[in-house]
Amino acid sequence: MKKVGVAILGFGVVGNGTYRILKEHRELYQRTQEVDIVVESVLERNKERAISLGVEEDKVASSIAEVISNPDVNIVVECIGGIGAAREFVMAALHAGKTVVTSNKELVCKYSHELERAAKRHNAGLYFEASCVGGVPIIRTLLDGVQANNITSMMGIINGTTNYILTKMTNGGASYSDALKEAQRLGYAEADPTADVEGFDAAYKLSILSSLAFHTKVPLGKVFREGISGVSQEDIQDGKRLGYVLKLLAVGKQSENGIEVRVNPTFIRKEHPLASVNDSFNAVYITGDAVGDVMLYGRGAGDLPTGSAIVSDIIYAATHSENKYSTFKNNAAAEKDTKFVSDFRSAYYIRLTVQDKSGVLAKISALFGKNNISIVEMIQTESGEDKATLVIITHETHELAVRNAVAKIDDTGVATVESVLRVVS
């Protein structure tokens, strides 16, 4: 039976989860995959921690040099995170010809060129299923499940923290700050929640997933990004009344006009399969020109779900001859030719506070008309004293047109724009 030696770099939540899965399933993989996978080495700054979690002392390495010079190590699993030591260690492993499996979205997003070049040059494998949407095999699906298709669109709920917060705000009526606090208490959100709530985490993943779906590198800088920290309970309740649910959606589209990639809070119809993806669950909804609509749903984070993705990559690497060093199938020349859409189209939800007097509605309607924005619904939801709240849902239109109209509304002096959110029409 083929024997495969694994080294785990970083023994935090994900590293330890991966270790436990490999230990507990060794016999399962021997029986079902015809491969014997053994953890040969663990690199962890806090050696005591690794030992207290069951790693034999002689398997705890002292340096990356020790790991990569170990001839029993075939596959190096990186669970450190960030782009300091992780990048250095992964590059060292690839240069030594070791296959790398990583869960590091920031590293893969920002340095895929460098990693792929090194992997190719040294004939090493490079796998990163765990970098996107935890245990959900979305990368395997894009590469080996729907690869017969021209993928036209991808919509994902790919950040568990923000989905938890929005679910609490939608179903529990919590305020943004209360929902965030609850997420922090449960360990879903970090003390500094910026990376999650401002959409950076989702943007990394969207960059990776859309690069794979559209067969060209989609750099982070091309991803339009807006977080959920400005979302209010009023927006969510208005949406609910109109049959919509608010989600932090990562959207990738490919058309003749180019590639469009964006992360923003978006209303979707409550009947859409993505609308019932709640709490910390994640899902990705793909549309291909042959397969039609396909959705994958599951846990986007956690020690064992993420470990499941890492170990699936290890098994894949161990049982397939072809090294997947060139998954993005891109090169600098091709990338230069890629067009990106800057002025994308969408339907919009716009909430205004207006002065409750005659002529105001006509003024606002005229302003939208002048910007070629046509209105699906206009509802007065509340009024008090001399003010009223107006909610407008538009037909699909250009983002720039909406920005123009919104700027002009503020100039009128009779209305204030409270929020602008996108709607999947």
Active site residues: 205
In whole angstroms, the minimum distance from the beta carbon of 69 to a copy of itself comes to 28
Subset of 257-276 contacting a copy of itself (CB under 8 A): 271, 273, 276
In whole angstroms, the minimum distance from the beta carbon of 289 to a copy of itself comes to 8
Strands 292-299, 258-269: pairing is unpaired
Subset of 61-100 contacting a copy of itself (CB under 8 A): none
First CA to last CA across the chain, in angstroms?
A: 54
Region of 162-170, 251-259, 293-301, 360-368 interacting with a copy of itself (CB under 8 A):
293-301
What is the spatial distance between Cα 395 and Cα 174, in angstroms, rounded to a whole number? 30
Select the residue interacting with a copy of itself from 53, 83, 85, 315 (CB under 8 A). 315
Beta carbons of 315 and 37 less than 8 angstroms apart: yes
Q: Does 53 bind a copy of itself (CB under 8 A)?
A: no
Angle between helices 13-24 and 26-33 (to 10 degrees): 60
Angle between helices 233-241 and 160-171 (to 10 degrees): 70
In whole angstroms, the minimum distance from the beta carbon of 225 to a copy of itself comes to 27
In whole angstroms, the minimum distance from the beta carbon of 66 to a copy of itself comes to 27
What is the spatial distance between Cα 79 and Cα 313, in angstroms, rounded to a whole number? 14
What is the spatial distance between Cα 252 and Cα 258, in angstroms, rounded to a whole number? 11
Which residue, 293 or 343, has its beta carbon nearer to a copy of itself? Answer: 293
Residue 78 three-state SS: strand
Residue 309 three-state SS: helix
CA distances from 165 to 45, 84, 270, 271, 376 (A): 33, 30, 18, 20, 29
- Dihedrals φ, ψ of 289, to 5°? -70, -15
Subset of 202-231 contacting a copy of itself (CB under 8 A): 215
Select the residue interacting with a copy of itself from 5, 15, 125, 137 (CB under 8 A). 137
**295 exposure class (CB count in 10 Å sphere: 0-12, 13-18, 19+):** middle
Distance of CA 366 to the CA centre of its chain: 39
Token digits of residue 2: 């083929």
What is the spatial distance between Cα 304 and Cα 306, in angstroms, rounded to a whole number? 5
What is the spatial distance between Cα 30 and Cα 419, in angstroms, rounded to a whole number? 56
Select the residue interacting with a copy of itself from 13, 51, 146, 376 (CB under 8 A). 146
CA distances from 410 to 4, 15, 337, 395, 419 (A): 64, 51, 39, 21, 12
Select the residue interacting with a copy of itself from 46, 63, 150, 374 (CB under 8 A). 150
Region of 52-60, 144-152, 373-381, 413-421 interacting with a copy of itself (CB under 8 A):
144-152
Which residue, 105 or 324, has its beta carbon nearer to a copy of itself? Answer: 324
What is the spatial distance between Cα 391 and Cα 198, in angstroms, rounded to a whole number? 25
Beta carbons of 130 and 153 less than 8 angstroms apart: no
Q: With CB under 8 A, what is the number of residues at the site for a copy of itself?
A: 56
Region of 43-51, 112-120, 141-149, 178-186 interacting with a copy of itself (CB under 8 A):
141-149
Region of 31-39, 179-187, 261-269, 341-349 interacting with a copy of itself (CB under 8 A):
31-39
Which residue, 14 or 391, has its beta carbon nearer to a copy of itself? Answer: 14
Select the residue interacting with a copy of itself from 48, 256, 322, 385 (CB under 8 A). 322
In whole angstroms, the minimum distance from the beta carbon of 92 to a copy of itself comes to 26
Q: Does 319 bind a copy of itself (CB under 8 A)?
A: yes
Which residue, 25 or 181, has its beta carbon nearer to a copy of itself? Answer: 25
Select the residue interacting with a copy of itself from 81, 242, 302, 402 (CB under 8 A). 302
Contact residues for a copy of itself, defined by CB under 8 A? 17, 21, 25, 28-29, 31-34, 129, 135-137, 140-141, 144-150, 215, 271, 273, 276-277, 288-299, 302, 304-305, 307-312, 314-316, 319-322, 329
